[in-house]
A and B are shown apart, each in its own frame.
Chain A
Amino acid sequence: MAQGPLLDTNSPLNAEQAARLNELLATLHNDQMTWISGYLAGLAAGSGAANAMVSEAITTESLPAITILFGSETGNAQGLAQLAAERAQRLGFQANVANMADFRKSDLKKVDNLMVVVSTHGEGDPPDPAEEFYALMHGRKAPALKGKRFTVLALGDSSYENFCQTGHDFDARLEALGAERIYPCVDCDVDFDDPASDWIDAVLECFGKLTGAQPRPSNVVAFSSRSAEKTTWSRKNPYPATVLENIVLNGRGSSKETRHIELSIEDSGLTFEPGDSLGVVPQNNPVYVERLVETLGLQADTAVAAGDDRASLHAALTQSYEITTITRPFLERYAALTESNALQALLREEAKTDLRQYIHGRHILDVIQDYPVKGLAAEDFIGTLRKLPPRLYSIASSHRVAPDEVHLTVAAVRYHSHGLNREGVASTFLADRIVEGETVPVYVDSNPNFRLPTDPQTPIIMVGPGTGVAPFRAFLAEREELGAAGRNWLFFGDRNFLSDFLYQIEWLNWRKRGLLTRIDVAFSRDQAEKVYVQHRMRENARELYAWLEEGASFYVCGDGEGMAHDVHQALLDIVREQGGLSDDQALDYVRRLQKEKRYQKDVY
């Protein structure tokens, strides 16, 4: 963010222009500023590309043009692409950000220098919006890319088996199509800030060297809502939000524990849109830390590295490192410290299935018990761990309605496996270890791919079983506040009607007031046969299709493994049957919805 007001002395503007711009700036939120920044840059370049998000900055003949192409589902890759563009522009590159969702073969042919930022989801799948481009690139119609230069930044989560798979696929494929890799592919784990930043700088240096021209800082003022460097509160500098309320939403006798947590962000200046997530920086359970330290035979007060600082082993394991989830990189590093052939064997390519079975339901503590290392130094153990990643929770409140608060809907993860009671780090941090009045470190994680329609008349269909209902509570609150006339249809599901109908009173009130046009519910355990939201969709296929035909947007939030897939399949079947379409046509129909941003997902 530009510091202080614009003046005739610190800008090329005259005093009147500066004053008028200051006046305008005061009314803008971050997304708007980002858009205007690109718009003006486009105007200056004479391209007329008024709708570019961030277009060329001041052109420098001697530096090459770079296209930063992102494939993003939750917005992280998009944010990094924008960050890269800003840095490139400041150095004098022509930098252009493009989204795989609307990137065509012909666009690719025009590109000479390509920076790809792409995330991986599920079992090594590309982000939803990038699916079509991914298919194009990996199919027979993929263009030859001889003479072009590329590099890839792969985002992922090392606790998944096919870590960064999509990035690796693009990296290999671009090379196979004839392009030249000017910088090796970099994998980023959930804590991506530093490696991504390093990658950007290194890649821009490579591009700079290509022409021999000296990159120079430009005087363009760039705005970004995404840049971790520029917002006051961020992943790296979270805001301590006070817990106002922390209650269990499930009634007596429930098999679940879903919490409603209200945090105060009063005076933080944090803003968010419906659809955004809140990043929560959790701490590990000290009981678990103590058990780990004891099992390792280490002293809790040994000083070790903790991020950029040093701290006691106990503090570092509580606050800085992931100590439960087993990732392959951890196993590789840990295996290097052991003399266990068994563990080494488990890491061989052929043993993938065995490894998957071993990891399932186990934590780092199990590895240490199963494959102990004699005389392991605290610092060496720390070296095997990855940073404790923040967790994202879809925000369940509207900033417009409750500007001083953020509401979350959090399912406490607790289960038993391999003889031990286990728990999710962040959910139980929120559920058990933070009481009302204490603070939680948080930041807003914007999700531009999960947004209410811009037209308040547009009907919306929301599918949000379990905690997936959270953003739809924000959606409805927002639409009510704005007086949006569009119809609203919610599909909700959980286990039992009596105890698990999250926010039941609120839906009933919204229905009574006419805001919630329809609500269909599926409680899986209230009858002999299991019933889920996708069954309710199918039961209402005719009407659902009619809503889509009338321009409705379709949203899915919640479990990404089973539910989102089943809902997707139900949607495909509904448009095929109701529209009298072939399989391919149905696929096209749904793809078109995605392209038009009328089918959005927030799944986890």
Chain B
Amino acid sequence: MNDISRPLEELHPNERLKHNSEQLRGTLRESLADPVTGAVTDDDTQLTKFHGIYQQDDRDLRSERRKQKLEPFYQFMVRLRLPGGVCTTKQWLALDELARQYANGTLRLTTRQTFQFHGVLKRNLKAHIQGINATLLDTMAACGDVNRNVIATANPWRSPVHRQVYDFAHRISQHLRPRSRAYFEIFLDEKPVARSEPEEPNYGRTYLPRKFKIALAVPPDNDIDVFAHDLGFIAITEQDELLGFNISVGGGMGMSHGEPKTFPRLADVIGFCRVEQVLDVAEQVMCVQRDFGDRKDRGHARFKYTIEDRGLDWFRKELERRLGYALEAPRAFRFETTGDPYGWQKGTDGTWHFTLSVENGRVADHPDYPLMSGLREIAKVHKGDYALTTNQNLIIAGVSEAQKSNIQSLLEQYGMVGTRRQSALRRHAMACVALPTCGLAMAESERYLPSLIDKLDVIMHEAGLADDPIVVRMTGCPNGCARPYLAEIGFVGKALGKYNVYLGASFSGERMNRLFRENIGETEIIDSLAPLIRDYAQQRQEGERFGDFVIRVGAVKPMLAGRDFQQPTA
């Protein structure tokens, strides 16, 4: 096995890079100070990720600028660490201003419940990070080979259990956060101090083989797609009391086209732990992956492949050996949906929460829809919080009965309620960023999905399904940021204008979809989906979801195991 026990020279070059980076410092200070290029050095681009910063360039302008003898339009994507996805309205206002001052004037709500800024120039990077720090937030470990942002079923205001689970997201995030002072020194001008102890007792010099994602779900909501993550905690309650969590391991979405050895995989539930065991379990699961994950082939380095290759039994034993106790048997639970409950909901304490659908999570002022301004105005008067969902939506959380009409009128004033933007299909759609900034994108996603939804909406209306949700997700590449393999209709980019179409995932996020059509353009997409949608309208059984329907009528066979996902014969 190509795990951490092998000599560094035999492993992926990134391992040596991490090892030699002085705990994520590299030459970042020099790179940031170099005014001749808008980029950082190639090695440093790997290190910025650990600090929540991704170097990108405007791919629309690449060839034009090359001809002009200008380097690519380098810019940085900055992602916050926001465990559980909640910010105060004061923080929202600060982020809104930072977006307009240093980024492209928009905020993006991500599929992992945090904020992304796009288009930050290198020369503004430090000021930008310092601005984030000033509002008591940070970007540490938001990308890179570490435990990423810990997500949880949205909105801690909903019930005491939600609040408890939300708190666990914070505690896990804090517990597994890198300890290196690199972030503070590089971006916040902290003076380096000499130290005799190793800086990273958990991560060591080479951190993890790849990213590691943790999610916490409160059934019956599976909004966070718990099985799509390396490690999941499924809240088990009894009479509104949190007893502990079922533990799921080995989920992950990414794959590469045409490489059957790569595949998306849903996590397996391996046991139950009590609340006081959660931090310990999280740490030890991560450390198993740290020690046994593949560090030679980064396309095979996610936890899901360690589980797949070594088996669940091996894993459970290894984990229990490290924990020093056996896990209890998993408890019963039931998921109903991966979607968000839109509109006004009343919490157990009597406060109100408004879930606003934000198309593709992009908070911007559109010519006919001043969404960003509207949310800014609401933030100025709202006394509660803003809670992000992993469906890229926003909850105005903790509205008192007295405030509700005030918020409602602002929602109306800025067009956030009662418009066509709120069609059922659109509200259940997600897209990753893709072009022009994402370096991995093979096709459009965020810029294209809205117009495809327009066309699918026409079919839905004609079929009488205007109010029936179907989960549609699109990504510009197969790496899975918008969790497309858990969509009832998934689109995964292969080339400009060409997508693989996948069908048949369950509405509750417990079954992946299967390839339906390969490498097709819009006309074929519409032509192949329209009859299925029409049939669904007429032939569906009571309560039958589209993802289940297409399997029943034989459009696709059910996908039972990730390892079969790219097998042509499966």
A interface residues, Cβ below 8 angstroms from B: 247-252, 260, 497-499, 501-508, 511, 519-521, 526
Max chain A CB contacts within 10 Å: which of B35, B38, B65, B73?
B35
Whether A497 contacts B38 by the Cβ 8 Å rule is yes
Max chain B CB contacts within 10 Å: which of A247, A504, A508, A526?
A504
B interface residues, Cβ below 8 angstroms from A: 35-38, 61, 64-71, 73, 121, 123
Please, which residues of chain A bring their CB within 8 A of the CB of B65?
A: 251
Whether B38 contacts A247 by the Cβ 8 Å rule is no
Whether A247 contacts B67 by the Cβ 8 Å rule is yes
Whether B68 contacts A526 by the Cβ 8 Å rule is no
Whether A252 contacts B61 by the Cβ 8 Å rule is yes
Whether B68 contacts A497 by the Cβ 8 Å rule is no
Whether A508 contacts B70 by the Cβ 8 Å rule is no
Whether B61 contacts A505 by the Cβ 8 Å rule is no
Name A505's contact: one of B35, B70, B73 (CB within 8 Å).
Answer: B70
Rounded to whole Å, the gap between the CB of B387 and the closest CB of chain A is 36
A247, B35: Cα distance in complex, Å: 25
Rounded to whole Å, the gap between the CB of B506 and the closest CB of chain A is 46
A-B contact pairs, 8 of them (CB 8 A): A247-B67, A247-B68, A249-B68, A251-B65, A501-B70, A505-B66, A505-B71, A508-B36
A499, B540: Cα distance in complex, Å: 57
Please, which residues of chain A bring their CB within 8 A of the CB of B121?
A: 498
Please, which residues of chain A bring their CB within 8 A of the CB of B61?
A: 251-252
Whether B67 contacts A504 by the Cβ 8 Å rule is no
With CB as the reference atom, state the residue of chain B lying closest to A519: B36
Q: A249-B69, A505-B71 are in contact. List 5 more A-B contacts (CB 8 A).
A: A247-B67, A249-B68, A251-B64, A497-B123, A501-B71
Whether A248 contacts B68 by the Cβ 8 Å rule is yes
A129, B66: Cα distance in complex, Å: 41
Please, which residues of chain A bring their CB within 8 A of the CB of B35?
A: 497, 520-521
A511, B41: Cα distance in complex, Å: 13
Whether B38 contacts A251 by the Cβ 8 Å rule is no
Please, which residues of chain A bring their CB within 8 A of the CB of B36?
A: 504, 507-508, 511, 519, 521
Whether B38 contacts A260 by the Cβ 8 Å rule is no
Please, which residues of chain A bring their CB within 8 A of the CB of B123?
A: 497, 526
Rounded to whole Å, the gap between the CB of A60 and the closest CB of chain B is 58
A526, B38: Cα distance in complex, Å: 13
Please, which residues of chain B bring their CB within 8 A of the CB of A251?
A: 61, 64-65, 68, 70, 73
A163, B128: Cα distance in complex, Å: 54
A526, B35: Cα distance in complex, Å: 12
Given contacts A251-B61, A252-B61, A526-B123, contact A508 B68 (CB under 8 A): no
A255, B174: Cα distance in complex, Å: 47
Rounded to whole Å, the gap between the CB of A493 and the closest CB of chain B is 11
With CB as the reference atom, state the residue of chain A lying closest to B39: A508
Given contacts A251-B61, A526-B123, contact A508 B37 (CB under 8 A): yes
Count how many pairs of residues, one from A and one from B, have CB atoms less than 8 Å apart in the complex: 47
Please, which residues of chain A bring their CB within 8 A of the CB of B71?
A: 501, 504-505, 508
Rounded to whole Å, the gap between the CB of B72 and the closest CB of chain A is 9
Max chain A CB contacts within 10 Å: which of B37, B70, B121, B123?
B70
Rounded to whole Å, the gap between the CB of B437 and the closest CB of chain A is 15
A202, B65: Cα distance in complex, Å: 57
With CB as the reference atom, state the residue of chain B lying closest to A502: B69
Whether A506 contacts B69 by the Cβ 8 Å rule is yes
A445, B437: Cα distance in complex, Å: 47
A90, B121: Cα distance in complex, Å: 66
A252, B37: Cα distance in complex, Å: 17
Whether A504 contacts B69 by the Cβ 8 Å rule is yes
A503, B68: Cα distance in complex, Å: 8
Please, which residues of chain B bring their CB within 8 A of the CB of A250?
A: 68
Whether A249 contacts B37 by the Cβ 8 Å rule is no
Rounded to whole Å, the gap between the CB of B103 and the closest CB of chain A is 15
Please, which residues of chain A bring their CB within 8 A of the CB of B66?
A: 505
A156, B549: Cα distance in complex, Å: 88
Please, which residues of chain B bring their CB within 8 A of the CB of A526?
A: 123
Rounded to whole Å, the gap between the CB of B334 and the closest CB of chain A is 53
Max chain A CB contacts within 10 Å: which of B36, B61, B65, B73?
B36
Name B70's contact: one of A249, A511, A519, A520 (CB within 8 Å).
Answer: A249
With CB as the reference atom, state the residue of chain B lying closest to A507: B36
A551, B389: Cα distance in complex, Å: 65
Please, which residues of chain A bring their CB within 8 A of the CB of B70?
A: 249, 251, 499, 501, 504-505
With CB as the reference atom, state the residue of chain A lying closest to B61: A252
Please, which residues of chain B bring their CB within 8 A of the CB of A507?
A: 36
With CB as the reference atom, state the residue of chain B lying closest to A260: B69
Give the 5 A-B residue pairs with the shortest CB-CB distance, closest first: A505-B69, A503-B69, A504-B70, A251-B70, A504-B71
With CB as the reference atom, state the residue of chain B lying closest to A492: B36
Rounded to whole Å, the gap between the CB of A262 and the closest CB of chain B is 12
Please, which residues of chain B bring their CB within 8 A of the CB of A503?
A: 69
A252, B62: Cα distance in complex, Å: 12
A506, B37: Cα distance in complex, Å: 12
A499, B70: Cα distance in complex, Å: 8
With CB as the reference atom, state the residue of chain A lying closest to B66: A505
Rounded to whole Å, the gap between the CB of B369 and the closest CB of chain A is 25
A511, B38: Cα distance in complex, Å: 15
Max chain A CB contacts within 10 Å: which of B65, B66, B69?
B69
A452, B37: Cα distance in complex, Å: 27
Please, which residues of chain B bring their CB within 8 A of the CB of A497?
A: 35, 38, 123
Please, which residues of chain A bring their CB within 8 A of the CB of B68?
A: 247-251
With CB as the reference atom, state the residue of chain A lying closest to B37: A508
Please, which residues of chain B bring their CB within 8 A of the CB of A249?
A: 68-70
A499, B36: Cα distance in complex, Å: 13
With CB as the reference atom, state the residue of chain A lying closest to B122: A497
A260, B67: Cα distance in complex, Å: 10
With CB as the reference atom, state the residue of chain B lying closest to A505: B69
Rounded to whole Å, the gap between the CB of B308 and the closest CB of chain A is 42
Whether A498 contacts B69 by the Cβ 8 Å rule is no
With CB as the reference atom, state the residue of chain B lying closest to A536: B35
A42, B71: Cα distance in complex, Å: 54
Rounded to whole Å, the gap between the CB of B77 and the closest CB of chain A is 17
Whether A498 contacts B67 by the Cβ 8 Å rule is no
Given contacts A505-B66, A526-B123, contact A498 B73 (CB under 8 A): yes
With CB as the reference atom, state the residue of chain A lying closest to B36: A519
Rounded to whole Å, the gap between the CB of B490 and the closest CB of chain A is 35
Rounded to whole Å, the gap between the CB of B112 and the closest CB of chain A is 30
Rounded to whole Å, the gap between the CB of A474 and the closest CB of chain B is 15
Please, which residues of chain B bring their CB within 8 A of the CB of A519?
A: 36
A248, B35: Cα distance in complex, Å: 23
A498, B65: Cα distance in complex, Å: 10
Rounded to whole Å, the gap between the CB of B484 and the closest CB of chain A is 32
Please, which residues of chain A bring their CB within 8 A of the CB of B69?
A: 249, 260, 502-506
Rounded to whole Å, the gap between the CB of B94 and the closest CB of chain A is 22
Max chain B CB contacts within 10 Å: which of A501, A502, A503, A511?
A501
A497, B64: Cα distance in complex, Å: 16
Please, which residues of chain A bring their CB within 8 A of the CB of B64?
A: 251-252
Rounded to whole Å, the gap between the CB of B384 and the closest CB of chain A is 38
A519, B67: Cα distance in complex, Å: 22
With CB as the reference atom, state the residue of chain B lying closest to A248: B68
Rounded to whole Å, the gap between the CB of A330 and the closest CB of chain B is 39
Rounded to whole Å, the gap between the CB of B304 and the closest CB of chain A is 39
With CB as the reference atom, state the residue of chain B lying closest to A511: B36
A506, B73: Cα distance in complex, Å: 16
Rounded to whole Å, the gap between the CB of B34 and the closest CB of chain A is 10
Rounded to whole Å, the gap between the CB of A485 and the closest CB of chain B is 22
With CB as the reference atom, state the residue of chain B lying closest to A258: B68
A178, B212: Cα distance in complex, Å: 93
Given contacts A247-B67, A526-B123, contact A498 B37 (CB under 8 A): no
Rounded to whole Å, the gap between the CB of B30 and the closest CB of chain A is 13
With CB as the reference atom, state the residue of chain B lying closest to A508: B37
Rounded to whole Å, the gap between the CB of A541 and the closest CB of chain B is 18
